[in-house]
Chains A and B, each alone.
Chain A
Amino acid sequence: SYELTQPPSVSVSPGQTASITCSGDKLGDKYPCWYQQKPGQSPVLVIYQHNKRPSGIPERFSGSNSGNTATLTISGTQAMDEADYYCHAWDSSTVVFGGGTKLTVL
């Protein structure tokens, strides 16, 4: 079965750039997306089709993709960005989520 691999945790200082990776076979062909989930809240879509932002998502969130790895980048990270982030892709009519990355802003 298809798998998406994310680092369990990433730390960043306020104002710096955070990068969270997601790896999977031929992931670039699958138009991955990214969700943010804060404690006790439902997930929120932050990036789709590699690098598009839904309405209301700040410009500091961006996405990129290269071959087997997608990257979520948060520029000028703020304390409010501390959350769990999940990548997501479709494969053969099934949905796959990455294991999630806890972003700590310290």
Chain B
Amino acid sequence: EVQLLESGGGLVQPGGSLRLSCAASGFTFSNYDMHWVRQAPGKGLKWVSTITGSGSFKYYADSVKGRFTVSRDNSETTVYLQMNSLTAEDTAVYYCAKDFGIMSHPFNFWGQGTLVTVSS
């Protein structure tokens, strides 16, 4: 059974940093791209970042480029999102999601999400 368990969310002051983790199990982790998606309160889904299975390629939304860094540890089957220079606009539930592994890259499993609140 595929499981994705996010952690690391919480309350942080503007300008602060936070590192999210997503522990994965139930599949061959290194074979799949992993994604981060966020959802501000009452709003829609917004893609944040993608990292390929080997970790060789990383992609970011323009809104987080230069501030967020995605990484993964395939030996620990965990993907991370380091978030720096946080602003109130980064307040959201952050989900990690597993790639289906096919051309169109649908996300076939999602974690339960972790809430990040940026506020003074």
Interface of A toward B, CB cutoff 8 Å? 1, 30-33, 35, 37, 42-45, 48-49, 54, 84, 86, 88-90, 93-100
**B11 proximal to A (CB < 8 A):** no
Residue of B35, B95, B103, B105 with most partner-chain A CB within 10 A: B105
Not counting A44-B110, A95-B105, a sample of 12 additional A-B residue pairs whose C-beta atoms are within 8 angstroms of each other reads A31-B104, A35-B45, A42-B95, A45-B108, A48-B104, A49-B103, A86-B44, A88-B45, A95-B35, A95-B50, A97-B44, A100-B45
Of all chain B residues, which has the CB nearest A99? B44
Q: A88-B106, A88-B107 are in contact. Are A42 and B112 (CB under 8 A)?
A: yes
Cα distance A66–B57 in the bound complex, in angstroms: 32
Residue of B50, B61, B104, B106 with most partner-chain A CB within 10 A: B106
B113 touches A42 (CB 8 A): yes
Residue of B62, B107, B112 with most partner-chain A CB within 10 A: B107
- Main SS of chain A's interface residues? strand
B45 touches A86 (CB 8 A): yes
Q: Could you say which residues of chain B place their CB within 8 Å of the CB of A97?
A: 37, 44-47
Question: How many residues of chain B get a CB closer than 8 Å to chain A's CBs?
Answer: 24
**B111 proximal to A (CB < 8 A):** yes
Cα distance A89–B62 in the bound complex, in angstroms: 17
Cα distance A83–B80 in the bound complex, in angstroms: 29
**Which 4 pairs show the lowest CB-CB distances between chains A and B?**
A31-B104, A95-B47, A48-B106, A33-B106
B104 touches A33 (CB 8 A): yes
Of all chain A residues, which has the CB nearest B61? A94
Of all chain B residues, which has the CB nearest A33? B106
Of all chain A residues, which has the CB nearest B50? A95
Q: Could you say which residues of chain B place their CB within 8 Å of the CB of A90?
A: 104-105
Q: Could you say which residues of chain A place their CB within 8 Å of the CB of B108?
A: 45, 48, 54
